[in-house]
Amino acid sequence: MGLIKLQDKTFKLFLSEAQILAAVKSVADKISADYKDQNPIFVGVLNGSFMFVSDFLKAYDFPCEVSFVKLSSYQGLTSTGIVETLLDLPENIEGRSVIILEDIIDTGRTLKEIIHLFSRTNVKEFKIATLFYKSSVYRGEYPIDYFGLDIPDKFIVGYGLDYNEQGRNLKEVYQLNQTTMINLVLFGKPGAGKGTQAEFLKEKYNLKHISTGDVFRFNIKNGTELGTLAKSYIDKGELVPDEVTINMLQAEVEKNPEVAGFIFDGFPRTTAQAEALDAFLESKDMVINATVALEANDEVLIQRLLERGKVSGRSDDQDENKIRNRFEEYNLKTAPLKEFYEEQNKFYSVNGIGSITEITERLAGVIDSL
């Protein structure tokens, strides 16, 4: 099958069954070379890894044990980063070598929580193995010890991976087949849930989430030419020129030719930046399709941030006066941007209070209407 349809989306073939099984065998061979004289425990991460674990064990010809953990990914995508453990670690792992078997690793959010589980145990060692690895978006601090295929940041289904719980039983892997480019600017006060919603929207619509803060940190940490230039301004206490920021965003856009659009988060912050972003996108035959503001009552957000501060340890989430100052700064900066995008009939306001699913549905309603 070249194309398949799951619910409201069409997917095209990305990896054949033979390619997948070859990647599984590659992982099994690498781990066998290191652990054939031991009796390791393989821990699969449900739900997505069940096919990978099954075929991996068939390809692993040495003594071993297997168990599973299950985390609530719904909770794992909240802004607090809290993950609910639904199926805990096996009890007999003390002093043992443990290898985590993941179906796919992208940003590393869930992996961070899994490793946190093991940090409370006395295992001899634990390693991380994944069938699919999106190295271009991985921001985790832990090394990936074994992987089958390094793949682009595409939304894929099949071989255990799902779209709204559909497609896990497919023997092949399919990628989202979407030709309509959707580019969004996401606004929201601190605590409004922009990061949480961006995670859902990028998966649903095959978009790339570009957080200006993340891009700055990545470039500075890795000493890129643009990162070094940006740091030179920051070290002098000066604002980084818009041109430098735009060039960073351009590099991110050009690194992701396969996606169906972008979510810009944290940029633009001024009318001049919005004009610069429009000019850059025009040079790529692209436009901003919509700017969406997640609106929420200040008092609700303050309580949300104060609760988050208890977990995150961020000082600016623990002081109500600092929170209100951040809100005021947001109001001052966003007002002219709202006017700028309203003149283009591209500004949408979405109620940001409710369950994560309810808010996602409201955002999806805006995007689907474009």
Give the residue numbers marked as catalytic. 194, 269, 308, 314, 326
3-class secondary-structure state, position 94: coil
The model's pLDDT over 179-236, given as tens digits with 9 standing for 90+, comes to 678 999 999 888 888 888 998 898 888 899 999 888 989 999 999 999 999 999 888 9
For 73, 209, 270, the CA distances from 266, given in Å and listed in that order, are 25, 11, 10
Check residue 88 and report its DSSP letter.
-
For 23, 26, 131, 169, 269, the CA distances from 147, given in Å and listed in that order, are 8, 8, 5, 22, 39
The set of residues, in sequence order, having a beta carbon less than 8 Å from that of 58 and lying 6+ positions away, is: none
Question: Contact, 20 vs 173, CB < 8 A?
Answer: yes
Burial (CB count within 10 angstroms: exposed 0-12, middle 13-18, buried 19+), residue 73: middle
The model's pLDDT over 72-81, given as tens digits with 9 standing for 90+, comes to 543 322 223 4
pLDDT of 5 reads 83
3-class secondary-structure state, position 101: strand
- Long-range pairs of 50-55 with CB within 8 A, sequence gap ≥ 24: 50/160, 50/168, 51/103, 51/159, 51/160, 51/168, 52/24, 52/101, 52/103, 52/131, 52/159, 52/160, 53/101, 55/21, 55/24
Strand 3-6 relative to strand 9-15, pairing = antiparallel
Mean pLDDT of the chain: 86
Q: Consecutive 10-residue runs of the chain (370 residues): their mean pLDDT?
A: 78 94 97 94 90 97 91 38 51 83 86 78 88 88 92 90 90 83 90 89 88 90 92 88 90 83 91 91 89 92 88 78 88 87 94 91 90
The model's pLDDT over 327-337, given as tens digits with 9 standing for 90+, comes to 888 888 887 89
User: What values do phi and psi take at 367, rounded to 5?
Assistant: -65, -40
β-partners of residue 157 are 174
